[in-house]
Amino acid sequence: MAQEASQTQQVQTQQAPQGELQVRPVDQAVLDGVGKVLAVHLSYRSRAEQRGRVPANPSYFMKAASSLSLSGTPVERPAGTELLAFEGEIALVIGTAARRVSLEDAWDHVGWVTASNDLGVYDMKYADKGSNIRSKSGDGFTPFGPGLIPASAVDPQGLRVRTWVNGELAQDDTTNDLLFPFAQIVADLSQLMTLHPGDVILTGTPAGSSVVVPGDTVEVEVDFPSAGLTSGRLSTPVVQGTESFSDFGNLPRITEADRIDAFGSEEAAGVVPPITGKSALTADVKAKLLSVATATISGALRKRGLNNVSIDGLQATKGTQKVIGTARTLRYVPNREDLFASHGGGYNAQKRIIDTVGPGEILVMEARGEKGSATLGDILALRAQVRGAEAIITDGGVRDLSAVTELDIPTFHNGAHPAVLGRKHVPWDTDVTIGCGGTTIQPGDVIVADADGILVIPPAIVAEVADEVVEQERQDTFVFRMVQEGHKVDGLFPMNAEWKARYNEWVAGGAK
């Protein structure tokens, strides 16, 4: 061990002649000198967008140091599992101890940069309750190397990470895409723990991670192109394990969500995606719904037995302007002082959803019909407008109503009130099933709203409803014109066989 420690020290400090720093090889002595392996959950924008969530701050998990392995070492896919996924990452190796370091000084505590592969078996993810102990800390699940690039020789914003599977490029991204710079990660971790020399930080993976099978070979390379420095390719062959899990512990289990996460997308996982508002509300469907009266849509929904799909009792800031979008939801609970203290301040649920609502989406708030306090004001309404949201709907009050009315974004509300949230409401959770204005709204439901009413359309039927209402609207136009010309409504509204034939002739003639 003394000899290994000496070798580790040599790898960390040796310099080339004339003081030039150079890439050092990773050997077993380097691995033996690692005290802890820390890993970031989400840090690349491409990966966060793929997962559908953008964290406000970095979060972490730990991997066992015994999971480290050298380039060329095979990794076993455990017997009885299917979802062994690779994640090419940039690994930071701490050079000098860091405890409560500042953002400005954090990078100075990084000694080396190299490639790593944050392998994990998603079949065991459920058993860890977020710790990733079994799913990420198997022997060989953290290949590392093969060369250490001196951190002082690179710009941390100019690094690149690439991953190949069987020679095909699977991941290619740069640190320009990071949500959190490396200095922030180092400084943040050092707030609660001392980072010792040799400790490893895995800095997250970009989009493109997926599942590998026995017979595959994964290669990861980190480089600093502007100076021609590279870690070299970290190679990991995948082999099939033969020892099954024993039943005195958790056995492998896969959910559909695990499969999608492991492969990176529903399409790659071979999972048929559910019909959602965003997939169902195509440009054609939206155009059809915009072309008809809200009352016509209501009639089509009633024909399908959907009588409780209107959000009632609200006022519109933009009169008859019609909006269509998919629902994002926010739920308020009645104010309780201790809960407001824990959930009402800071970057609460209200502010988080306002910061993530976007084009094609309508923010719907459940405020229990409580008018005695506002659910948002002009600043947050403006933020939703800047984000590109289609509309805001709340069955609670609105502050600064005159200013909100002046904004371009339509807002449907239950009246004006000058008080802030804490008087009646605690912002509680987002993107959950809620009740607003007497009906139920689920995230992804299609919302059609104007001064005539607000309707909720289940995504699974929105296309057929759109086709039907266009036809119904055309029939209503025909009937209106016939009445306008002096015809009686008897037999015309609804149309009997004679009028139906005349209607078909009118359509065939161009329905002018």
Q: Are 323 and 410 in contact (CB under 8 A)?
A: yes
Q: What is the pLDDT of residue 305?
A: 93
Q: What digits encode the pLDDT tens for the residues 106-135? A: 999 999 999 999 999 999 999 887 789 999
Predicted pLDDT of residue 227:
92
pLDDT, tens digit (0-9, with 9 covering 90-100), for 60-86: 999 999 999 999 999 999 999 999 999
Residues tagged in the binding site annotation for Mg(2+):
400
**pLDDT at 51 (0 to 100):** 82
Q: How confident is the model at residue 302 (pLDDT cuts 50, 70, 90)?
A: very high
Least confident of 4-18, 152-166, 285-299: 4-18
Binding residues: 377-380, 399-400
Q: Please name the helix (run of DSSP H) or strand (run of DSSP E) that holds residue 61, with its range, or none.
A: strand 60-63
> Six-digit token pair at 150?
């001196």
- Its CATH architecture, for the domain 2-269, is Alpha-Beta Complex (3.90)
User: Does the pLDDT of residue 464 top 60, yes or no?
Assistant: yes
The yes-or-no verdict on residue 12 having pLDDT over 80 is no
Express each pLDDT in 399-408 by its tens digit: 999 999 999 9
Note the pLDDT of residue 256. 87
Q: What is the pLDDT of residue 275?
A: 65
**Which amino acids are annotated as binding site for substrate, given as ranges?**
377-380, 399
- Residue spans of the domains in the chain: they are 2-269, 307-457
What is the structure's pLDDT at 509? 80
pLDDT at residue 177 above 60?
Answer: yes
Whole-number Å distance between alpha carbons of 471 and 455: 19
In this predicted structure, the answer to whether residue 11 has a pLDDT above a threshold of 70 is no
- Dist. CA 68–CA 346, nearest whole Å: 39
User: Is residue 17 pLDDT above 60, yes or no?
Assistant: no
Does residue 471 surpass a pLDDT of 90?
A: no
pLDDT tens string 194-203: 999 999 999 9
Three-state SS for 446? strand
What's the predicted TM-score (pTM) here? 0.58
Based on the number of CB atoms within 10 Å of its own CB, is 468 exposed (0-12), middle (13-18) or buried (19 or more)? buried
CATH code of the region 307-457: 3.50.30.40
Higher-confidence residue: 259 or 277?
Answer: 259
Q: What does the buried/exposed string (b/e) look like for 362-392 if buried means 16 or more CB atoms within 10 Å of the residue's CB?
A: bbbbbbbebbebbbbbbebbbbbbebebbbb
Mean pLDDT, rounded, for 198-219: 96
> Mind listing the pLDDT tens digit for each residue in 367-382?
999 999 999 999 999 9
Mean pLDDT score of the chain: 90
